[in-house]
Amino acid sequence: MEYSCKLGAADKLKSACLVVGVYKNNRLTPLGQGLDAALGGQLKRILKRQDFAGDLGQTQMLYEPKGCAAVRILLVGLGEQKEFSARQFGLALLPAFQQLDKSAATDCLVLLPNDADDESTYRLVREAVNAAEAGVYRFEQCKSEATPPKHPLKRVEFLAQSRAQANAGNRAAEHGRAIGIGSRLAKDLANLPGNICTPTYLAEQAQALGRGKPKLKVTVLSEKQMEKLGMGALLSVSRGSRQPAKLIVLEYNGGKAGSKPVALVGKGLTFDAGGISIKPAANMDEMKYDMCGGASVLGTIAACAELNLPINVVGVVPSSENLPDGDANKPGDIVTSMSGQTIEILNTDAEGRLILCDALTYTERFEPAAVIDIATLTGACIIALGHQASGLLANDDKLAEELFEASTECGDRTWRLPLWDEYQRQLDSNFADMANIGGRPAGTITAACFLSRYAKAFKWAHLDIAGVAWNSGEKKGATGRPVPLLTEFLLRRCKASM
């Protein structure tokens, strides 16, 4: 999809559809009022009919408006004007873009609702682009016959009120488009089933991402290489599977040579049956999404490369399956991690931390400025935060604050949980240095406590994305989160270093 901002008279600009926001109780925006005046009051007359009230997400298509260069006008309810925000703008536009994707219009021109400052305009357009990307996303790779829309939406333009506003909007359009590309990659990989998206497939896709990008180097470590490194925890998970584990390493060198990278470590568990501590059957299919952390690392690096960001980023994705097998981990087994610390595996379903701990130790060699791991790590995180926010835990307050601010700003929310020392003793083991589970209380925190023991060498934050990486039910599908948050974080780091 293409996005850009332009200036001009709403009634004179050619487009397949003018998208005109209307606040609740049919209040027009400034550009909407100007358009209505140029069209001799047509819009106000139609609004008086009361079929449309400006409720959030409501739409009304008008055809061949008189005196207008556009073929259609789509009225879009913006909801309460008092509560209006960039987030609300995105929510309002989502159904509009879905409708346009199905209609014969292949382009549209969206009137910006106000002449807000550069920063607010930037947020409005970012949310709008986000809505457009979500609205047109479809996953049909596994259908024998795809049913793409006959006239898909291809170009979205925004009508600004000033040159400054158009500039801010264009910057947002560029960033939003790149985040869209990254999110799409993450969603596609995540939506693929476990029998297609194996660790080997994920590694191949990472290598494909690196092709033709001189700033991106992709390396894939085999089980043999991981053995040499002593990754006993990671390999113990993979031993119960016929698919070989992979350690995928992506190095994006957009920054100055020698400037310390941000490392993103993503859980790439391509199917989690629980192992010998097998999961119940209901909804187990959704455990194909247990690689969403890894997919978000690939997606974020894709966005960085698309934007040519002046920053160094390392992605590390440990990838494996977790299945029951005669050679699988058994409750009570003790393994030695790459760090040398031993782990008593009391529940084989707590496998994410086992593959991540070795990946974290491996990450030390890049001398990272900061490490963020991203994982669908605990069901407990869904109990704590539901499907709104990722759990955020960190050994560094500044890094946590930076991530929290980025997440609030871009709407890809996080909420911090504590990592107090007192929780650590829940991991005590009678037989090894630590157990891999900490009991029912504070399951998300004890999982992060476990990881923290492998993150002592750097500033580290952990994102538990179990509740946000995919939707269940009728609209089952990956969300692409937290690609928006991670890209926002990196964009801000770039800005701060300039």
Binding site for ligand BES (CB under 6 A): 272, 290, 347, 349-352, 376-380, 437, 443, 466
Nearer to ligand BES, 181 or 377 (CB): 377
Nearer to Mn ion, 101 or 349 (CB): 349
Partner in contact with 437, chosen from Mn ion, Zn ion, ligand BES, none, beta carbon below 5 to 8 Å by kind:
ligand BES
What torsion do the CA atoms of 307, 91, 465, 488 make, to the nearest 10 degrees? 30
Nearer to Zn ion, 194 or 352 (CB): 352
Subset of residues 146 to 205 that bind Zn ion, contact rule: CB under 5 A:
none
CB of 461 to Mn ion, least distance (A): 21
Are the beta carbons of 207 and 298 closer than 8 angstroms?
no
| Of positions 65, 113, 275, 352, contacts Zn ion by CB under 5 A | 352
Amino acid (one-letter) located at 78: L
> How many other CB atoms are there within 10 angstroms of residue 41's CB atom?
11
Nearer to ligand BES, 65 or 352 (CB): 352
| Of positions 36, 272, 344, 358, contacts Zn ion by CB under 5 A | 272
Contact status: 411 vs Zn ion (CB under 5 A): no
Nearest residue to Zn ion, by Cβ distance, number only: 272
Measured distance CA(293)–CA(479) in Å, rounded: 12
478: part of which helix (H) or strand (E)? strand 477-478
Catalytic residue from among 72, 126, 177, 353:
353
Known catalytic residue at 279: yes
Partner in contact with 391, chosen from Zn ion, ligand BES, Mn ion, none, beta carbon below 5 to 8 Å by kind:
none
Partner in contact with 135, chosen from Mn ion, Zn ion, ligand BES, none, beta carbon below 5 to 8 Å by kind:
none
Per the structure block, which two tokens stand in for 387?
């499907």
Amino acid (one-letter) located at 416: R
- Residues in touch with Mn ion (CB under 5 A): 272, 349, 351
Nearer to Mn ion, 289 or 458 (CB): 289
**What residues have CB less than 8 Å from 455, skipping those under 6 apart?**
360, 371, 373, 395, 462
Taking Cα atoms as reference points, which of 492, 478, 394, 399 lies closest to residue 192?
A: 478
CB of 386 to Mn ion, least distance (A): 20
CB of 221 to Zn ion, least distance (A): 21
Are the beta carbons of 70 and 17 closer than 8 angstroms?
yes
Taking Cα atoms as reference points, which of 355, 323, 319, 358 lies closest to residue 240?
A: 323
Segment lying near Zn ion (by CB under 5 A), choices 173-181, 244-252, 270-278, 408-416: 270-278
CB of 443 to Zn ion, least distance (A): 13
Measured distance CA(388)–CA(383) in Å, rounded: 11
Nearer to Zn ion, 47 or 190 (CB): 190
Nearer to ligand BES, 96 or 295 (CB): 295
CB of 156 to Mn ion, least distance (A): 40
Cis upstream peptide for 152 (omega within 30°):
no
Subset of residues 285 to 324 that bind Zn ion, contact rule: CB under 5 A:
290
CB of 187 to ligand BES, least distance (A): 17
Measured distance CA(70)–CA(95) in Å, rounded: 20
Partner in contact with 395, chosen from Mn ion, Zn ion, ligand BES, none, beta carbon below 5 to 8 Å by kind:
none
Segment lying near Zn ion (by CB under 5 A), choices 169-177, 212-220, 282-290, 336-344: 282-290
**DSSP E strands, 227-300:** 246-253, 262-266, 268-272
Are the beta carbons of 82 and 131 closer than 8 angstroms?
no
Taking Cα atoms as reference points, which of 347, 356, 350 lies closest to residue 453?
A: 356
Q: What's the helix, strand, coil split of the chain in %, to 5?
A: 40, 20, 40
Catalytic residue from among 27, 44, 279, 416:
279
Nearest residue to Mn ion, by Cβ distance, number only: 349
Per the structure block, which two tokens stand in for 482?
């937290």
The gap between the terminal CA atoms of the chain, to the nearest Å, is: 29
CB of 447 to ligand BES, least distance (A): 7
Measured distance CA(156)–CA(5) in Å, rounded: 9
Known catalytic residue at 224: no
Mind telling me the catalytic residues?
279, 353
What residue ranges bind Zn ion (CB under 5 A)? 269, 272, 290, 352
